Amino acid sequence: MTLLKMKFNLKRILILFISLFVIGSVAIETSVHTVSGDSLHLKDYTNEITNLNEPYKFIKTDYFKPITHLTFTNKPVTRYYQLTLKKVKMSPDGFERTVWSVNGQHPGPLIQANKGDRLVINVTNHFDDPASIHWHGMFQHGTNWYDGVPGQTQCPIPNDVSLVYNFSTTDQHGTYWYHSHFFAQYVDGLRGSLVVHDPDDPYLNQYDFEYLVVLSDWHHNTTGVLLPLQDAPGYSGFRPIPDSPLISGLGRYNCTAAPPGSKCNSDQPLPVYNVKKNKKYRFRIINSAADGVFVFSIDQHKLKVIESEGIYLKPTIIKKLPVAVGQRYSVIVDANQPVGNYFIRGTLDKRCTPNNNATINFNSAIDWDGLGILHYEGAKNSPNSKEFDDDFTPCRDLDKKHLKPIKPITKYDGHVTDFVNITITFGADKNQRLEALINNSSFVPQLNDPTINKITRDIAAKDLPKDQNSVILNHNGGIAEIYVKNDNNADHPFHMHGHVFAIMFVGEKGDVPDESKYNKKNPVVRDTVTIPGNGFLVIRFITDNPGVWAFHCHIEWHVEIGMVMGIIELQDTLKKETIPEDVVALCLEHDLQKRTTRKMLNAIVINEIRSDD
């Protein structure tokens, strides 16, 4: 199928799609209300009543300038932001294509708050496709409906419609990000950074300036082209191979490999981070890729690791930092070397990306070595620095000796109230199309009636369809233990919404979990962890956050074929909640699904390219 033939208009497809499935459908009744501080579960977390007349701040971010910190306040405040979603032509690596941008840029702008602040973010969708935003790593205490997962916590935002996401940071702090959770849309550009500053940060006085580094892989074809290829009957390749690694939205591509007629410039400048001699810099590093482990390093400058996913760590020194999809770190870099230019390396680790001749874009002209420059003030020479040798295990998370919390976290050492055993693997449906399976079930999002809507209509979690891959946890304040057996060769970076978790055990092939060896007194705590191929994972978390929370592989190509679980937590509390009326209204604006399967929904994604592009 040619690209030209795939350039349909999404609205036309949706009209046809709706007409096919509206017959026999029934109206959906859901409790609605306007969010206020008087709401049962919101009340404890509301810092101040939202001023509906407050203007939303349209923001842009230059990722190559130090962050301008917010002023700390005596009490939490509400911060209003505007995010406008629109397709624009951009050339992140020199190759021009349509990008699903946020406020006209990629990555999307930085959203900042201080610990305890409330964020009120007006998201206006002009993509000509549905959209959503998930606030990766934010707990959403009392606001599960703003977690941004179509099919689980909301219906997607239709085109030319706005949704206000209104949630508190509560006691969270650290490095986070945001991205679409509507199909693979974030791979096309809808992703950005989110930082919650902490006046009590133990490292606040140990650095002078602060930078953000958003690492991502980049594809020249849109996911509207790539997903149907992966979904083809009999597909025997691996995940699509990218065309470039990007450092905060910039990369380079050898344009001699570009298709004839493409707009491409091989002379892309390298991203530059400016530093001053003898100053110290905090680098917040985010892997926002669809797939792939990044390795971050700066030639001749070691990294002091101080934070991982909102958890302060005992400081340790490393040379190279492996970062799996969805993971975040903070490191401090001392600009104490001779004045000069040094390579910053954001390398996509080829060793962690399987490939064969059947894989989409298997013969990519990618340069796996993403490069930037650490430029000392006054330096004139070109970079001629030498890369550090590896000091980590390839395709694995940073060693646990570097991930010890600065203060022991002991709350996971207690009576386990819930044990959950899952097995993840791959299979094929009756049409020989690839499926990802959790306990032999592939997740299918019900986009027009998300799980939270069902729970608030008093539909028991046990009665949810099997393909929702639901796990029910009802012990308030209990400890849940999840045992994951990875029954395939692939590594999977698994992310949990609404929580951090304590890692009890990570095992390679042949290892057997041994509870006597669990670190219950001061475990590694985070929200994203890599499960080795044919290995095991055991984690624990506290069941204290009523909601519907996704637990899924963050390789986006695996999400799209069903490697998602839904944790239904404290449903007796959740079902008493009322969903804000503007969130419920999303389900009435359009009807993406009545009686559909994942395979039928994937057909919609083909039309992410506008007919006038």
Q: pLDDT tens, 222-255?
A: 999 999 999 999 999 999 999 999 999 999 999 9
State whether 382 and 429 are in the same domain. no
Q: Which amino acid is at 592?
A: L
CA pair distance 307, 329, nearest whole angstrom: 5
State whether 365 and 445 are in the same domain. no
State whether 384 and 461 are in the same domain. no
Residue 600: the pLDDT is 35
State whether 156 and 225 are in the same domain. yes
Half-sphere exposure for 146 (CA within 13 Å, toward CB): 27
State whether 322 and 248 are in the same domain. yes
State whether 422 and 385 are in the same domain. no
User: Interhelix angle for 598-605 vs 223-230, to 10°?
Assistant: 150
- 15, part of any domain: no
Q: Is the dihedral of CA 353, 356, 357, 359 positive or negative?
A: negative
Residue 512: the pLDDT is 87
Residue 51: the pLDDT is 59
Secondary structure (DSSP) of 414-435: S---EEEEEEEEEEE-TT--EE
CA pair distance 175, 177, nearest whole angstrom: 7
Residue 52: the pLDDT is 57
State whether 224 and 349 are in the same domain. yes
Range of the domain at 504: 416-579
CA torsion 25-564-285-241 (nearest 10°) is -90
State whether 202 and 310 are in the same domain. yes
State whether 379 and 288 are in the same domain. yes
Give me the number of domains the chain comprises: 2
- 549, part of any domain: yes
The CATH number for 128's domain is 2.60.40.420
Residues 475-517: tens digit of each pLDDT: 999 999 999 999 999 999 999 999 999 999 999 998 989 999 8
Residue 416: the pLDDT is 97
* 351: its two tokens: 């060793």
Residues β-bridged to residue 162: 124
For tokens 């040379």, the residue is 319
CA pair distance 509, 491, nearest whole angstrom: 11
State whether 81 and 198 are in the same domain. yes
Q: Which amino acid is at 289?
A: A
Residues 131-144: tens digit of each pLDDT: 999 999 999 999 99
495-523 exposure pattern, b = at least 16 Cβ within 10 A, e = fewer: bbbbbbbbbbbbbeeeeeeeeeebeeebb
State whether 377 and 493 are in the same domain. no
User: How high does pLDDT run on average in the chain?
Assistant: 89
Half-sphere exposure for 345 (CA within 13 Å, toward CB): 27
Q: Are 110 and 67 in contact (CB under 8 A)?
A: yes
Residues 325-360: tens digit of each pLDDT: 999 999 999 999 999 999 999 999 999 999 999 999
Q: Which amino acid is at 58?
A: F
CA pair distance 527, 101, nearest whole angstrom: 26
Residues 18-72: tens digit of each pLDDT: 333 322 323 333 333 222 333 223 333 333 335 556 689 999 999 999 999 899 9
- 39, part of any domain: no
- 287, part of any domain: yes
- 473, part of any domain: yes
For tokens 């890729």, the residue is 289
Integer CA distances (angstroms), 235 to 428, 440, 555, 597, in order: 10, 20, 18, 19
Q: Please give the backbone phi and psi of residue 308, each rounded to the nearest 5 degrees, phi first.
A: -140, 115
Q: How many of the other CB atoms lie within 10 Å of CB of 528?
A: 23
